[in-house]
Structure formats: structure tokens, C-alpha cells
Amino acid sequence: MALDQLVMTKFGETAGEEMILNMGPQHPSTHGVINFVVHADGEVMKKAVPQVGYLHRAIEKIGEIVTYPGFMPYTDRIDYLAAMFANEGYALAVEKLLGLTVPPRAQYLRAISCELNRIASHLISLGSMAMDIGAVTPFPYALRERESINDLLEALCGARLTYNFHRIGGVGFDMPDDWMPLCRKWLDHFDRILDEWDRLISFNEIFVERLAGLAVIPLEMAINYGLVGPNLRASGIEFDLRKAHPYGAYPDFDFKIPFGKAYAGAYRGGVVGDCFDRFYVRVLECRESVSIVRQALDKFPPGEFMAPKVPRKIKPEAGEAQSRIEAARGEMAYYVVSDGGERAYRVRARTGSFLAMGIIEELSKGLMIADLVALIASLDVVAPEIDR
Amino acid sequence: MSALTFEQIHQRLAGKFGEAVGPLQPAKKDPFCTFAPARLLEICRFLKSEPDLAFDFLEDLTATDHPKLNLIRVVYHFYSYPHRHMFIAKAEVNRQISEIDSVEQLWKSANWMEREVYDLFGVRFKGHSDLRRILMPDDWVGAPLRKDYSEAGGYRDISNVRDNPLDLYLSMDRELKAQQAAAQPAAGSQSAAAPEQHAAPNPPAKPGA
Amino acid sequence: MKELIDKIIVEQLGHDPQTWPMAQGLYLVGMMLVGVLLTTFGAIFAGLLSWWERRIAARIQSRIGPNRVGPQGVLQFIADALKLILKEDLIPTDSDHILFRIAPYFVMTGFILTFVVLPFGYHLSATSMNVGLFYVVSITALVVVGILISGWASNSKWALFGGIRAAAQVVSYEIPAGMVILVPIIMAGSLNMHDIIRAQGGAPWDWFMFQTPWAYASFFIMFTALLAEGNRTPFDLPEAESEIVAGYNTEYSGMRFGYYFLAEWGNLWVMSAVLTTLFLGGWQVPFVSMAKLTAWEATGHVPLWYYLASAAVFTLKVLVLVNIIVWIRWTFPRIRVDQMMNLCWKYLVPIGMGLVVLAAVTELLSYQLFGEAAKGQAKVGSIRDTLHFAFFLVAGLVPFAAFALKTRRNIYIVGDRVDLSNW
């Protein structure tokens, strides 16, 4: 169907009782510029068809134009809420092509910055989910905590949002001298904030009632549709790339992997793989990230923060490499093809949000419009990751 | 729950499908093999249903364009959650008649990824339930990620051809010098406000080093 | 008020109000004056409440809120009103022009007209209608007409959503509200707002809320139903910002948009005033028993300080309730449409019916037991009084104290403290 037929006309409905509405692209709670063409019969939807591409910036094409190190700032923009992961994925892929080993201090710095960024990204996701359900207060609380993380990361690399911190072969800067005690102090403070979060919103009766049993994604469906990250874990599988195929400094750390267990409780209709599980898995992941950062700070090794002998002009030999990392929104896979020149032949970033969008049309059948908002929020999609 | 290596998986495939499965390319960091497009669906079905292989997750479906070889290679990355192993395969498609079977019936994640390859490379997937553009607008012409893609002069009323800002500044400089040479002191402030053109010019610009 | 004007005509002007032809004119002038006074009060209160709500919301969310326009930002609402008045008056081309224009006035009318009957203090209300409570309930139903009209007339599907949701919600919650209102009416024996207040007393255990468990439950049901009627969170679906952008007032701009919010904030006063009247003793001043008041009335001279104290007590109680409603808005998420209808029809309506029956039975029993002493404020030391005090301890003091302690623990356990320094 062409686009014009999908758009609402002046009196225009399809035959019968169906109403066609546009939710977006500017809407307070589609996470970014995404449009949903909702076929609704009153409050209940027949289906909601997502239309993406409003934020397409041709980043993969730019990857063929700029040099290998020059592409690093562009990876920030692939997911600007969890930019460290995008940096790391690309760096890992190119390092695989070059055959570089990254020194331990750099790996620890990568792990620390990534885990802090994971907490920041989850805070936004949880806060905006609460806001979409109607509780406005948790969002500023989440932002308040995220400000501290932004300050810490700004001390590390100079930027609050698009970090460009990781480099091919290591990281860009070393940790400042007084950074560690500040980080520890904040981690101690943040533990109690997570407890307050649980008291405020996680187990609030109305909140749980809204999310329990909603849009259940069984495990086979999740794997078939390609969900990754917290979305997949909430459907009941204990799979995390940091444990299954460890990379970087993660083998040194001891942490649990939270997965869906119907946290809403059976008496409220909670089922493994519902929206509340996807929400609560992210809350638990914040706790695990705090533990990882603490361990990393305890075991922080001395040494170089950049691999020795990284060539000035990076020209890997012809070949291709794929790197997979556990980003905040799921597994991000970078596929870099090199033809021996200074510029990549093809850079591909497969993001978790792109796959998550594919499941929305299927799940939206029979939901209400308020539920669609909750579903999108629980899948934690961001437009830059979808459109690149 | 045993993870197989690339070689072992390739042996299983070659044993079953023989010629349709190309040799495992030497490991330039990530080995892959090539499937014959005609039997792609069969091989993929085998990959998914065979208990030892059990590739239940189509991790990535993308393409690379090789104009010199007149090929578009569609790249598949498979992963298995039960066994925790992965496999990479490619299928080659002619650049002019770019058609290949869709694997959407096996893995629903292929739905959106094949739409993206269709959109950006122009490869048609036979049997796809809803093949239409996904990232570009519906009435866009051309496949942007192809190597020989060049934009049309504009899209609807929006032109994408701009003067090179460097030329503009150079000409403004020349004018200013001419003015200063002509009228002596009090060369007033140039009131020509530089228009806010900051997009890169159309052909691929020199990359910032 | 009519008595006041009659008194002025007789005493100051020396005419007989029944025959003097100008009496009607004076009545009219009086009505207009009172109308202007009440409308002004309603509007100014709504404006100040907008500022107050924003400060409270900000404080809850760890921010500051408007504090620049005027001392502590008090004049923010005047700045907002000016801005809205000076805005372009946009009327969508395809909308129904007449209906689009008059919809806000329905809402404003429905809200302002209730002020006529609210008891601001002892003998301080515009009228003392025999059917005051009935009048309030029926007049507030005008608001839903306005919302529905605006949803339809905007010619926008999202606005229509908001309008339909609002209609469903408000009309549904009229039922439990209307039912549960019967409980204090039965206990007081009258629909007149002042009579209902006079049947209560000054001390908390003389309020209807703490007299019987049915009245206690009725308070909470009434509170919920009034939140739903006023479109306040957790029942603010009609204007759910994150789902349907702004619901029924999506297409409105400028002062028309302002009228909706004026009505919403002003409605908080009306809702809290009704709740105070029915359940919290209205303007009854503590430590002044009804016996004393009737004694004063018998002499014909009630002291002036009593008028002022009653107005102050009423205002205080209403403000406490308003603050609680504001507090709830910024704490709880929003309930979904079908859950809201579920709650109303499957839970509140049957419970409300049960409460009315129980209240009626209790009233009859209480007449059997206590005879004439069953009406009005209980005498200090009587059995009735002791029962009320015991119930107040169990149902009022203990939960309140527990809640306060828990809140204090929640604040300190995070390392926070109650801090008004950046107020």
C-alpha cells in the first residue's frame, strides 16, 4: 500500500468501523521520530504498522567515505543514549581486522565506561517508560542520577552524550587521578536510589496493573523475531554476550544475569515475557552494572591505555570481521568489510532496536492504544538505532 | 549443548548439499562460505531444523555491493542459542537481475532486514510478505548503498545540489579585496550574510583526516 | 443573601421589600455583585493553584519550579494568562466553528455555578439552598457536555478520543459519587449544605468521616469518584499527554485552552469543598460545640470572630485536601480506560450501594438506641461520643501516624532530608 493510502484523509476511513490514526512522528511518547499507523476500532487496535526512516542519516554510507578512525564519532550517533557501546563495537571489529590486542587498562576503562553508560541508558528507558504510563515524577529522578553519570563521563572523555571515547586500539584518554573516589561515592549513593525507585514506581499497584500480562512474548517468538538484550532475557532465557562469548575485560568480573521470571506476580496476571518483566529486568541490570563497575575499580590495572604500534593510517588487509557486544538495548553487531584501503568497503551496524520494531505489528493486534504506548516503551526502542 | 566450529558446520553442510555449498573461505578474520541461491531456502531450513546445528536466530542479513564482479553478495549471520555457535554465509546475486529467495518463513527477523536490503541495495526477495521500502521514503528512486549510486537532483521540491561553500567564500574574498582596493579607508562591514549552507557537496567529499 | 439585602432595604432605606418596585433591581445588583465576587475568587484561586501545583510538582521532582515572576513566582499565573490572551486565536478550518467556540464556556459555567452553594463559613455562602447538594452534583455534569463538544468539534481523531474517554469516565463516576453522597445525607437528614455541617462538630471525631465505618469508606469512594470527575491523575485519561497528546484540547490555543485548565484547577476547590462539607465537618470550629452555637443564635448575636474562624477552618480543610490531590497527581501513574471502567462498575458501584444500605440501617438502629440524641453532634461523654472517639483513634489517628512515620523513614533512608532551603 502506498504511503498516501495509509495517511488519514479528510473524512477518510476504510470501509466499516475502522479508524486510521497517525501516532507520530512527533509524539510525546514514541521514542524518537517514529510513526505508527494505527488501525483502530474505538480504543482497541486491529494493528499498528510502524513507519521508520525519519532519522535515517546514511551512517553506513558515510562509513565508506571516511577513514577508519574518522568513523568513530559517527558511531556515537548510531545510539546517542548508549554511545560507548557503539564506539566499542566498531573498535572491536576493526581491531579484529588489524589483529591488535588491547592492553588491559584500556579494556577496563572500556568496561567501566560502558557499564556506566548502560546505567545511564537504562535510567532514561525506565524513566520514560514511567512517564509514558503517566507517572511524571520518576523521569526527573532518573535524569538527576544520570546527571552524575554524565559528569563522571565528562571528566573521562570531555563529552556528556556523544563520547567518542574509545579508539581503535584502546581508549582516547586515561582516567583522571581523582576520578575513582568520586565514582565510588556515586555508586554508594546510587544503590539507595534504586531501592527508592522500587518503592516509588516499580511495585506501584497501578503501574503493575498496567504492565502485568501485557504483550507477552514467548521465548520462541522472541528468538524467531530476533529480539536481543533485555527484551530477550525478559522472555526467560539467561543469555548475555558478556557471559556467553566474553570480550574485553568481562571475564574478570563476577555478575549475575537477570532474566524474566514474571516479576509482577501471578496473582496480578504476571507472565514471563510481559512488559513488566522487560521493565524490571532493566532495573536489575542497573544493579549488576553497579557491581561490575565496583569490581573494575577494585581491580584496575596499571599500564597503557592505548595499544602500542597502532598505525597512523589504518589500512587493514582485505577481509571482513564481525564483532558482537552486549549494548544497552541488546546485542549490537558490527560487520566491517575491508578491501585493503584506508576507507572501509562496508560498515554495517545491526542494532537491537531495529529488530525489536519488527515485532510490534504482530503484537499490537488486539491491544488498546494505551497499551501500544506501554509496549513501545517496554521494548526500549530509540529512533537513531532503528534508522541509523 | 555443544558448540561446533566453523569447519565442522561447513563439513555437515557440504556433506548434505555438496556443490551448493561453496568452500569455506580462508579465515580472513571470519570465515564464511557461499550458498547457491537456488537452494538457499533448503540449506537454511536444514540449518534451522537440524538438531546439532539448531540455528534459531538469524542475527544479521545484509549485503555488500561489488560492481567490479557484477555481484551483490547477501550476507547471512546465523547463531544458535542452544549450542552457542555461529555461522556466516553469503549468497551471490547478479547486480542487474537481483532476486533471491526470502528466508522470512524461517526466521521472522528477516522481515525487516530483507526490507532494508531491498531498500538500500535493490535486491528483491521472492516470497516476502511485505516487500517495500523501509528507511527511505516510499517514492525514492534508486538503491542508495550501491557503489554506483548517485542522487538525483533533488527529492520532491528539495534540491540537494548546492554550491561549494569554499567557492562562495573565495568569491566573497575576491569581492572584498576589490572593494578595499577601490574605496580606501572605512571599508564598511560586508553586509553579505553568508547563507547557512553547511551540507557536504554532492560527490563524496574528501574525508576529514 | 436575600435576607441581607432585605435587611438593608428595611433598615437603611426604610422601604418594604415586598412592595418597593426597586427591590428587584437591588436583588439583581446584589446577584451580579456576588456573581462577580465568586467568579473572581474562583479564577484567582485557580490561577494561584496553578502556581502552587507547579511549585509542589517541582519540589517532588527535585527541581525548583516557577520562582521568577514576582516574589517566589506568585505572579506566574498572571504572566501565563496574559500570554494566553495575547495569543492568536486559532480555529481549525474544518472544525465546527460555533461548537468549537462555545465548548469552553460550558466547562466554565459548570464549574463556576457550583460556587453559589458552597459554604465558605458560618452563614457565608451565596445561598443556602434546600437542595444544595443535589444542585452541586447536577451542575457539575455540565462539564462533560463541554468536553464532549470540544472533542467532536475539533475535527481531530485524537481530540475525539479524548472527548469520548472523558464522557465515559465522568458519566460513569457520577454513579458511585451520587450513591455515596447519600451516606452523609442519611446521617444528617438534609440536602442543605449548612444543615449537613451543623449535624457534625468541630473535633475530628465529630466529623461524619470518623463516626461510622460506612462514612469512612464513603469518604474514600467519594474522593476517588471526584478525582475521576475532575479528570485528575490517576484518572486523567482524557488529557493523557503521553498517549493522545492533549486529548480534547489538542486543537485549542490561547485563552480557550486556558479556560479548560482554569476549570480544572478551580474544580479542585469545588471537589475539596464538597468533601469537606460532607465528611470533614465543613466550617465547624474546634472547641465550639453546637450547643454553644445554638445558644448564640438564640440570643441573635453570634460573635464576629466566629464568622472569621469558621471561614478560616473551612479554608484550611479545603487546602489540605487540595494539596493531597496535587500530591497524588505527581506520584501515581495513569490508569487505563478499561481498568477505570472496571473499577467503577464492578467495584465502586456495588460497594457504594452496600454502604448506603448499611448507613440507613445504622441510622435506624441509632435512633432505636439513642432516641433523639442520635441527631447532631454527640454530647461530650455520651456513649455515642465514646464510640466516635474510639473509631477515630483506630481509623484516623493510627493510620495517619503510621503513614507519617513511613514517609519519614523513606526520606531518611535514601540519605535525603526534608529541606525547604531552596524553596
pLDDT band at C246 (very low <50, low <70, confident <90, very high): low
C12 touches chain A (CB under 8 A): no
A144 touches chain C (CB under 8 A): yes
A192 touches chain C (CB under 8 A): yes
Lowest-confidence segment of C64-68, C70-74, C159-163, C185-189 by average pLDDT: C159-163
- Which of C177, C175, C164, C171 is CA-nearest to residue C240? C164
pLDDT band at B118 (very low <50, low <70, confident <90, very high): very high
Of A199, A368, A371, the CB nearest to C410: A199
In this structure, what C-alpha cell is assigned to residue B48?
534451522
Partner-chain contact A226 B64, CB within 8 Å: no
B82 touches chain A (CB under 8 A): no
Instruction: State what percent of residues in chain A have pLDDT above 70.
Output: 95
Of B109, B133, B205, the CB nearest to A226: B109
> What local confidence, expressed as pLDDT, does residue C243 receive?
57
pLDDT band at C18 (very low <50, low <70, confident <90, very high): confident
Of B30, B135, B139, the CB nearest to A322: B30
Instruction: Provide, as residue numbers in chain A, all residues whose Cβ is less than 8 Å from the Cβ of B81.
Output: 223, 237, 239
Q: How large is the average pLDDT for residues C216-232? A: 91
In whole angstroms, give the CA distance from residue B76 to residue B92: 11
Instruction: Provide, as residue numbers in chain A, all residues whose Cβ is less than 8 Å from the Cβ of B57.
Output: 223, 226
Residue C245 has pLDDT above 80, yes or no: no
> What local confidence, expressed as pLDDT, does residue B185 receive?
62
Q: How many CA atoms lie within 13 A of C67 on its CB side?
A: 10
Edge-to-edge strand ranges of the sheet holding A44-51: A19-23, A35-41, A44-51
Place of cell 488529557: C239
Instruction: Provide, as residue numbers in chain B, all residues whose Cβ is less than 8 Å from the Cβ of A346.
Output: 64-65
Partner-chain contact A195 C413, CB within 8 Å: yes
Q: Which residue has the higher pLDDT, B183 or A180?
A: A180
* pLDDT tens-digit series, residues A55-101: 999 999 999 999 999 999 999 999 999 999 999 999 999 999 888 89
Global pTM reads 0.87
Residue B187 has pLDDT above 60, yes or no: no
> What local confidence, expressed as pLDDT, does residue A278 receive?
93
| C243 CA: distance to closest CA in chain A (Å) | 6
* pLDDT tens-digit series, residues A331-381: 999 999 998 889 999 999 999 999 999 899 999 988 888 888 889 999 999
Partner-chain contact C333 A29, CB within 8 Å: no
B84 touches chain A (CB under 8 A): yes
Q: How large is the average pLDDT for residues A286-300? A: 94
Q: Which residue has the higher pLDDT, C210 or B2?
A: C210
Supply the DSSP string of C152-189, one letter for each residue. HHTT-HHHHHHHHHHHHHHHHHHHHHHHHHHHHHHHHT
Partner-chain contact A53 B204, CB within 8 Å: no
Instruction: Provide, as residue numbers in chain A, all residues whose Cβ is less than 8 Å from the Cβ of C57.
Output: 136
Instruction: State what percent of residues in chain C have pLDDT above 70.
Output: 95
Alpha-carbon separation of residue C301 from B180, C288, C377 (angstroms): 95, 15, 21
In whole angstroms, give the CA distance from residue C210 to residue C280: 9
- Which of A166, A161, A162 is CA-nearest to residue A74? A162
Q: Chain C residue with minimal CA distance to A372?
A: C243
Instruction: Provide, as residue numbers in chain C, all residues whose Cβ is less than 8 Å from the Cβ of A135.
Output: 331-334
Beta carbons within 8 Å of A223's beta carbon, 6+ residues apart: A232, A237, B56, B57, B81
In whole angstroms, give the CA distance from residue B134 to residue B145: 14
Partner-chain contact A348 B60, CB within 8 Å: yes
Of C60, C234, C243, the CB nearest to A206: C234
C327 touches chain A (CB under 8 A): no
* pLDDT tens-digit series, residues C393-416: 888 889 899 999 998 888 888 777
DSSP state of A267: G
Beta carbons within 8 Å of A286's beta carbon, 6+ residues apart: A118, A119, A122, A123, A194
Residue A16 has pLDDT above 90, yes or no: no
Supply the DSSP string of C274-326, one letter for each residue. HHHHHHS-TTPPTT--HHHHHHHHHHT---HHHHHHHHHHHHHHHHHHHHHHH
Instruction: Provide, as residue numbers in chain A, all residues whose Cβ is less than 8 Å from the Cβ of B62.
Output: 335, 348, 350
> What local confidence, expressed as pLDDT, does residue C373 receive?
66
Winning range, highest mean pLDDT, from A173-182, A366-375, C12-21: A173-182
Average pLDDT, chain A: 88
Residues 133-192 of B with CB under 8 A from A: 133-139, 144-145
Partner-chain contact C236 A134, CB within 8 Å: yes
In whole angstroms, give the CA distance from residue C117 to residue C140: 12
The interface predicted TM-score of the complex, written ipTM, equals 0.86
In whole angstroms, give the CA distance from residue C358 to residue C361: 5
In whole angstroms, give the CA distance from residue A281 to residue A230: 6
Q: Which helix (H) or strand (E) holds C199?
A: none
Place of cell 498516501: A4
* pLDDT tens-digit series, residues A227-276: 999 999 999 999 999 999 999 899 999 999 999 888 888 778 888 999 99
Partner-chain contact C157 A8, CB within 8 Å: yes
Of the residues B34, B75, B107, B134, the best mutation for testing chain A's interface (the one with the most A CB atoms within 10 Å of its CB) is: B134
Are A129 and A274 in contact, with CB atoms under 8 Å apart? no
Instruction: Provide, as residue numbers in chain B, all residues whose Cβ is less than 8 Å from the Cβ of A220.
Output: 56
A134 touches chain B (CB under 8 A): no
Of B59, B81, B205, the CB nearest to A237: B81
Partner-chain contact C57 A136, CB within 8 Å: yes
In whole angstroms, give the CA distance from residue C118 to residue C41: 12
* pLDDT tens-digit series, residues A200-239: 888 888 899 889 888 999 999 999 999 999 999 999 999 9
Q: Do chains C and B touch (3 or more CB pairs under 8 A)?
A: no
Partner-chain contact A196 C241, CB within 8 Å: no
Partner-chain contact A239 B81, CB within 8 Å: yes
Task: State phi, psi for C244 to the nearest 5 degrees.
Answer: -120, 35
Of the residues B24, B29, B107, the best mutation for testing chain A's interface (the one with the most A CB atoms within 10 Å of its CB) is: B29
Contact pairs from chain A to chain B, CB under 8 Å: 101
A141 touches chain C (CB under 8 A): yes
Instruction: Provide, as residue numbers in chain A, all residues whose Cβ is less than 8 Å from the Cβ of B59.
Output: 226, 324, 331, 333, 350
Place of cell 521500502: B133
pLDDT band at B209 (very low <50, low <70, confident <90, very high): very low
Instruction: Provide, as residue numbers in chain A, all residues whose Cβ is less than 8 Å from the Cβ of C157.
Output: 8, 19, 21
Helices of type H across chain A? 3-6, 59-62, 72-76, 83-98, 104-133, 138-157, 179-197, 205-211, 219-225, 230-234, 241-244, 275-298, 352-357, 360-363, 369-379, 383-387
- Which of A362, A386, A364 is CA-nearest to residue A375? A364
In whole angstroms, give the CA distance from residue C200 to residue B133: 71
Are C66 and C55 in contact, with CB atoms under 8 Å apart? yes
Residue B207 has pLDDT above 50, yes or no: no
> What local confidence, expressed as pLDDT, does residue A2 receive?
44
> What local confidence, expressed as pLDDT, does residue B208 receive?
39
Instruction: Provide, as residue numbers in chain C, all residues whose Cβ is less than 8 Å from the Cβ of A207.
Output: 333
Of B29, B56, B136, the CB nearest to A321: B29
Beta carbons within 8 Å of C421's beta carbon, 6+ residues apart: none
Residue A15 has pLDDT above 60, yes or no: no
Residue B153 has pLDDT above 90, yes or no: no
A379 touches chain B (CB under 8 A): no
- Which of A174, A272, A179, A177 is CA-nearest to residue A217? A272
